[in-house]
A and B are shown apart, each in its own frame.
Chain A
Amino acid sequence: MAQDINPIPPALFLWEEALPGGCHWSGIVRRGNALRLTDLSGRANVSALFYNAEEKLERYNMPDTLKAQHTAHLTTGHALYSDMGHVLCSVIHDTCGWHDTVCGTSDAGTVKAKYGEATYQTHRNAMHRNGRDGLLVELGKWGLGKRDVVPNANFFSKAVADDAGRLHFDASSSRPGAYLDLRFEMNVLVVLSAAPHPLDPRPDYAPGDVMLTAWKAGAPGADDVCRNHCPENQRGFYQTEILYR
């Protein structure tokens, strides 16, 4: 939860692109590169799915990620696993401390029920967008669709479970300038939606803007914080590295 800045060295910078609140994005991030997601206003949610760009049937697997690391949330040191025992990407730095893995996305029905209707006809590009449709639109650009939607990560969002399993959204978890750095261990198709988190209780539709910044992070060393997080990750990183031998 360090309040640090940790600037990206200019020599390693690759590109930067804004993802406005509510909007969706997809692209390939290659092995050895990293993506910084920055919550500009402190009110962002980024629903994310990840696919092996070379074999898109291999994809982010929430349960495998959680079980391998005995965690229900993501932060520094955690790897995001595919369903094939490989590490798609890993959280090498995080100033937020908790990213949700279990709540999924909003959809057209839940957004309309919670925020009312705001269509393109009445609101142009300020229309209400929902997470599921944003992901489906991006997936369609790569020949993917509903069959490829699996439980997603929600960066910058926190929902805490009580003893009975009831979830309580913590709107104070993120803050302006909070960011996390994902280092990619494979060539990965990244699919994002910045629509509101489905359990965000705030009544106004005001999803926060996000900045995406890519740079050359290099390969994880022997002392890497994610590789050494647990013995499971050491095996996961090994199995990922032999893919590229």
Chain B
Amino acid sequence: MSTFNLVESPLDPGQAVVDAVVNAGDPWIHEIKKGQVFRILDLEGNQAVDTLFYNAHDPEERYSSTDTVRAQGALYLTAGTRLMSSEGRAMLTITADTCGRHDTLGGACSCESNTVRYALNKRPMHSCRDSFLHALAHYDGGLTKRDITSNINFFMNVPVTPEGGLTFADGVSAPGKYVEMRAEMDVLCLISNCPQLNNPCNAYNPTPIRVLIWDVPSQ
């Protein structure tokens, strides 16, 4: 495995304008203004944070995993990665990362994919795509299932082998690790703090995360 590019942030949580905890299995939806800095902190470790971004003024422009991979010619997200939109524009830039690697291939879990991946009787279990739909149903933004396209899995490690295999290695995050990004446009952020219990993406124990927003870097 290659060396991770770990970058710490100088920002002081005491100066954040938003500082909230998202409980295990809950969604979170919030606007982040251009220039603001957004941090997601893995409070207890090995928690997958499924995240979508939309242009706050034109949500048909949204985060695109394939455009992000194409733009950097590489699969994994870390400090320096520009999170690209479906229109080929940078939405946010990752400016700090103490975890080192984040996934954008693994998608979000759903009742339906759980029936295929694990067993037909897993359908009733809580899932990320149910969380997304729940949040969008209560958010007056006109977004629906149609808008759930591609997402990031912060703190998840899903290596692709040279032979083209997909593996779920995980285990790269730990309590207190965080990833931080600067918004390059006004964006709407939609998170599912993943409730998956069928695989090790949350170490079989989904836990809370902390989300913070700063208006401007404090120095």
What are the residues of chain A within 8 A of B61 when measuring CB–CB? 146
Whether A81 contacts B160 by the Cβ 8 Å rule is: no
Chain B 104-136, CB-CB to A under 8 Å as 1, else 0, gives 011110101101110110000000010000000
Chain A 160-204, CB-CB to B under 8 Å as 1, else 0, gives 111111110000000000000000000000000000001100000
Whether B160 contacts A72 by the Cβ 8 Å rule is: yes
Given contacts A107-B88, A167-B75, A236-B116, contact A147 B146 (CB under 8 A): yes
Contact among A83, A103, A149, A164 for B112, CB-based, below 8 A: A83
Contact among B147, B150, B161 for A147, CB-based, below 8 A: B147
Given contacts A67-B117, A85-B112, contact A103 B70 (CB under 8 A): yes
Chain B 45-80, CB-CB to A under 8 Å as 1, else 0, gives 000000000000000110011110110011110000
Whether A102 contacts B105 by the Cβ 8 Å rule is: yes
Whether B2 contacts A163 by the Cβ 8 Å rule is: yes
What are the residues of chain A within 8 A of B15 when measuring CB–CB? none
Whether A68 contacts B65 by the Cβ 8 Å rule is: no
- Sort chain B's interface into a size bin: 35 or more
A145 to B86, CA, bound (A): 12
A33 contacts B by Cβ under 8 Å: no
Whether A235 contacts B120 by the Cβ 8 Å rule is: yes
Whether A104 contacts B66 by the Cβ 8 Å rule is: yes
Given contacts A146-B60, A151-B65, contact A72 B74 (CB under 8 A): no
A window 100-137: CB within 8 A of B: 102-105, 107, 109-110
Closest CB-CB distance, B187 to chain A, in whole Å? 16
Given contacts A62-B107, A72-B105, contact A166 B116 (CB under 8 A): no
Question: From B87, which residue of chain A is reached at the shortest CB distance?
Answer: A107
What are the residues of chain B within 8 A of A81 when measuring CB–CB? 113, 116
Contact among B1, B120, B167 for A163, CB-based, below 8 A: B1
A39 to B49, CA, bound (A): 40
B141 contacts A by Cβ under 8 Å: no
What are the residues of chain A within 8 A of B86 when measuring CB–CB? 146, 149
B145 contacts A by Cβ under 8 Å: yes
Whether B108 contacts A63 by the Cβ 8 Å rule is: yes
Listed in ascending order, the chain A residues whose CB lies under 8 Å from chain B are 57, 61-64, 66-68, 70-73, 81, 83-85, 98, 102-105, 107, 109-110, 145-152, 160-167, 198-199, 232, 235-236, 238-239
* Further 11 A-B residue pairs, CB within 8 A, beyond A68-B113, A161-B75, A235-B120: A63-B106, A67-B117, A67-B166, A68-B117, A71-B166, A98-B164, A104-B65, A110-B88, A151-B66, A160-B162, A198-B70
Closest 3 CB pairs of A and B: A63-B107, A104-B66, A85-B112
